[in-house]
Structure 1
Amino acid sequence: MSEWQSKTIADLGKVVTGSTPPSRKSNWFGESTPFVTPSDMTEGDRRPRPERWLSAEGLAGLRTRLIPRDSVAFVCIGSIGKVCLLESESVTNQQVNSVIPNANTDGRFLYYLLKHMAPSIAQSASGAATPIINKSTFSQVVVRLPGHATQLRIAAVLGGIDDLIENNRRRIEVLEEMARAIYREWFVKFRYPGHGDVPMVDSALGPIPEGWHVGRVGSFGRIVTGATPSTKQPRYWGEAHDTPFLTPTEMGWRRLYARPARHLSDAGVASVKSRLLPAGAVCFSSIGSIGKVTLAVKPLVTNQQVNSVVVDHSVTSESYVYEALSHASERIRGMASGSATPIINKSTFADIRMVMTPPSLAHLFGREVGLLHSLITKLEEHSSRLGAIRDLLLPQLVTGQIDVSSLNLDTLIAEKVA
């Protein structure tokens, strides 16, 4: 530990606060440079997934805020403590302070160090309604870190695990796109098995094959709106092996699988027992970030921001409902009420028009795409086990409790993940 020294974040590199293009400058958004906000950062994911990008004009207007790759972005307003490693040149919004590492600081190590320190850094926030850590306060946070060579070794271990997780993520993205492509082929282009001799007929949602009809989301099965057990009752909240409690924060855009951050005890489930969803339920975020869709891989409870479909198998399949709602998510967002916080209430959600296929075709689709969904789930579970190893090692490595030179990562992964 003799090489470990205390330094401020400002000692480690240049701190830059982001900025958002003026609302009147709509031409500043385009496809040139990632524009990173807190909502693009997901727990357990090293890199951000930006929803919006800047145009060349936008980048020129915010050129002083451009952050190089391998810098670390840390949320300092609102969801304080979210952190990511920028893997390409990016601009962030004003909720984010980024650290551009100097020659003595490895960006990957700094990412893991700030990830570990996020809870303690968050305690320095001011403001009750919207917590904030200003740039000067963030810059003066004191951290302990080793010499550059040890930083590189620690980052190589933790980064090696995250590289395996990222490889799984890329494979998952391919499988998800394959599932979407099959859905579009069968149910948008209507080139499904046996389509050749079936005439098209008019419907409220446009031409559809004869024998199909327009129903409602409620036609797919029972609609359940989630609920949150009292947070004043500690006995309602459990451990990782208990019943998952899902919120929109953990749901991704067009991502089948979600990893709930919290879990309910048996007492917590009993307090909202009518909201317990079976495996196979399709969850749809309906307040705020409307349109995130997740397939429950095990029984779970959601909060009140999520409407879910408990699928009626005599009518359709889980895979069809998941892909159909994902495909319709933009149309559904346009039906939301409320300006400050958009909302799709339970009755509105249940009444949304959807194309109903013959049950036999929905189940054939379920068998075809269900195989892809099963592979996605296995890869996600493998990533979860890898993430558990990373999260076990991270605090011990970045604080020097474990000598990084004593670790054999390949052996550790083989023992814990295989």
Structure 2
Amino acid sequence: MEFSITKIEEIANVKGGKRLPKGESLITSPTDHPYIRLVDIENNQVNERDLQYLTSSVYQKISKYIVEEDNVCLAVVGHTIGLVFYINSNMHGANLTENAVRLIIDKKQANPRFIYYYLNSEKGQAKILSRKVGSAQGKLPLYNIKSLEIPLPSLKSQNKIVSILKYLDEKIDTNYLMINNLEQISQTLFKHWFIDFEFPNEEGKPYKSSGGEMVESELGEIPKGWSVKYLSENVDFLSGGTPKTKEESYWHGTIPFFTPKDAKNNLYTTTTEKSITDLGLEKCNSKLYPKNTLFITARGTVGKLALANRPMAMNQSCFALKHKDDKQFYLYNIVDNLVKEIILGANGAVFNAINLNDLKRLKYAYSNEQVIANFENTVSRFYEKMSLLEEENINLQQLRDTLLPKLLSGEIEIPDDLEV
């Protein structure tokens, strides 16, 4: 495939985002003015779940710094350099953090999605990181973005490449939607049974609304026969550790090594930023935790949860939780409902770390074992499906990321009759 080497500035305007005016802050109540932070980026798109917003008065002060549909955005500060995300129609008009820039692509010369795919490719990422300046956190200056060179085939060829890669992206998005729906179903069922106490009674009817007897407890009213227990009575809290980072033989093996950075917004964690060898596992304080182990982050971003989608080790900034009767999906929902209590102190201040005692003091309403078993059996097929979908998405992402260089090099030819 023929292509020309083109600088970003020749096909796009590069514009920075904007920090909040001094003394102003974001709000959680939705307005017409969402503000995109780098923590809102998941799977190279804006995750709307935890978006924060500007008031109208603050928006007027920084209204020039908005993104538009089909903009390609790059993170330019610290460890996030190399993060590339695409602006879809639902984020058109949102404000952009000062920690990112946006590329306004000339669509007569380039397909914005082609630029997005290239910058996310292995070669694109290497070029971005090579242009970082400064020590420690570092930054990516605008002039280094503008002068970044990319291979640009004809617009017709770009469109064909995009049609192939976008098909894979759409399949990935469909899988994520299915995962989110299954997780919501599981959470709704958990709330119905264990928070609202509407689990099926002996006649199969909702317990509380059908006149089920309730009794007082230190946590409020609970069904008769239930009790208040410490989480530690039914859960083992296990620790992790890190092998020596300078010992090369301990690292870059086949064992995923979970750290707080790997706790994304996905339910399951399948791949991790770091990996260790069998020898590295022997030389650290972490066990090899089995699939469906529940991880909770204890430092940094405190209280993030993730289920292991394959056996993996873990560093000392997390805890691994194992239900003593192997009711891991029930445990996940219990802990998910206790997270706010975990990360808030007695005075309401947010903890920047949690320790073993913070976990051991947690109490919850414990039902009888049959109700728990019924819940676990009901939702287990949902979690198994979510696990498979996560695995499929990893494979699709790897396929997508390996296709682009093969298409550009001509190793894989695009049929002339491919419809775009």
TM norm structure 1 = 0.88
Q: Kindly indicate whether residue 122 of structure 2 is the aligned counterpart of residue 118 of structure 1.
A: no
Q: Determine the structure 2 residue equivalent to 1:317.
A: 327
| Cα distance, 1:406 vs structure 2 | 4.4
Aligned match of 1:276: 288
Per the TM alignment, residue 401 of structure 1 is displaced from its structure 2 partner at its CA by 4.2
Distance of 2:196 and 2:351 partners within structure 1: 35
Q: Is the 8 A contact 2:236 2:322 kept in 1?
A: yes
> Hey, what's the Cα distance between the residues in 2 that align with 1:17 and 1:158?
28
Residue 160 of structure 1 is aligned with which of 134, 145, 167? 167
CA distance in 1, matches of 2:243, 2:417: 43
Task: Give the aligned partner of residue 9 of structure 2.
Answer: 10
Task: Return the match for 2:381 from 362, 371, 385.
Answer: 371
The count of aligned residue pairs is 401
Q: Residue 96 of structure 1: which of 80, 95, 100 is its match?
A: 100
SS of the equivalent of 2:228 reads: strand
Distance 1:47 1:302 in 2: 27
Q: CA deviation at 1:192?
A: 0.7
Task: Give the 3-state SS of the residue equivalent to 2:82 in structure 1.
Answer: coil
Match of 1:132 in 2: 139
Q: Could you say what secondary structure the match of 2:45 adopts? A: coil
Map of 2:393 onto structure 1: 383
Deviations 1:280-332 (A, max 9, x none): 3211122122222112233211222211212100xx71111101111222332
Q: 1:250 to 1:140 in 2, by over 3 A?
A: same
Partner SS state of residue 151, structure 1: helix
Which residue number corresponds to residue 44 of structure 2? 46
Provide the residue aligned with 1:334 in structure 2.
344
Coordinate RMSD, CA, aligned: 2.7
Output the CA distance in 2 between the equivalents of 1:336 and 1:245: 33
- For structure 1, list consecutive stretches of 5 or more residues without a partner in the other structure: 410-418
Structure 2 equivalent of residue 209 of structure 1: 223
Q: Determine what percentage of the aligned residue pairs are the same residue.
A: 23
Deviations 1:77-125 (A, max 9, x none): 0121011111131322111111111122211111111112123311222
Give the 3-state SS of the residue equivalent to 1:167 in structure 2.
helix
| 2:401 corresponds to 1:402 | no
How far did 1:254 drift? 6.3
Counterpart of 2:204 in structure 1 is none
What is aligned with 1:290?
302
Q: Does 1:246 align with 2:250?
A: no
The aligned residue for residue 278 of structure 2 is: 266
Report the Cα distance in structure 2 between the residues aligned to 1:386 and 1:338, rounded to whole angstroms: 43
Deviation at 1:53, TM superposition (A): 3.3
Give the direction of change, closer, same or farther, for the CA distance of 1:338–1:246 in structure 2 (3 Å limit): farther
Equivalent residue letter for 1:169: Y
SS in 2 for 1:193: coil
Q: What is the one-letter code of the residue matched to 2:98?
A: Q
CA pair 198-407 structure 1, distance change in 2 beyond 3 A = farther
Partner of 2:242, secondary structure, is coil
Do the aligned residues in 2 keep the contact of 1:278 with 1:310 (CA within 8 Å)?
no
Shift in CA distance, 215/341, structure 1 to aligned 2, threshold 3 Å: closer
Superposed counterparts of 1:145-224, under 5 Å: 145-194=152-201, 195=207, 196=210, 198-224=212-238
Query: 10-19 or 46-55: which moved more?
Result: 46-55
Deviation, 1:172, is 0.9
* Cα contact 1:255–1:293 (8 A) shared by 2: yes
State the distance in 2 between where 1:156 and 1:123 align. Answer: 29
Moved more, 49-58 or 73-82: 49-58
AA aligned opposite 2:193:
W
User: SS in structure 2 opposite 1:65?
Assistant: coil
SS of the equivalent of 1:157 reads helix
Alpha-carbon spacing, 1:331–1:92, altered in 2? closer, same or farther (3 Å): farther
Q: Deviation at 1:141?
A: 1.6
The question of whether the paired residues in 2 share the 8 Å contact of 1:13 and 1:100 is answered with yes
Post-superposition CA distance 1:164-212 (Å, at most 9, x none) = 1111111111111100100110111110121246422333332222222
TM-score, structure 2 normalization: 0.87
Partner of 2:365: 355
Q: Does the CA contact (< 8 Å) of 2:299 and 2:317 recur in 1?
A: yes
Deviations 1:237-274 (A, max 9, x none): 244xx222122222233624443233322112212254
Per the alignment, do residues 268 and 284 of structure 1 end up closer, same or farther by CA in structure 2, a change over 3 Å counting? same
CA deviation profile, 1:33-68 (whole Å, cap 9, x unmatched): 4422222334xx232214223246144332211111
Q: Are 1:21 and 1:28, in contact at CA under 8 Å, matched by a contact in 2? A: no
CA contact (8 A) 1:225 1:346 kept: no
Structure 2 unmatched runs, 5+? 202-206
CA shift for structure 1 position 340: 10
For the structure 1 residues 297 and 115, does the alpha-carbon distance in structure 2 shift closer, same or farther, using more than 3 Å as the test? closer
What CA distance in whole angstroms lies between the structure 2 residues aligned with 1:298 and 1:386?
18
Deviation at 1:135, TM superposition (A): 1.7
Aligned residue in 2 for 1:233: 247
CA distance in 1, matches of 2:382, 2:226: 25
Query: What amino acid maps onto 1:189 in structure 2?
Result: D
AA of the residue aligned to 1:209: P
Amino acid paired to 1:286: A
Residue 24 of structure 2 corresponds to which residue in structure 1? 25
Distance in 2 separating the partners of 1:299 and 1:67: 40
Q: Is the Cα–Cα contact under 8 Å of residues 280 and 295 in structure 1 kept in the other structure?
A: yes
Any conservation in 2 of the 1:228–1:303 contact (CA below 8 Å)?
Answer: yes
1-structure distance, mates of 2:416, 2:371: 52
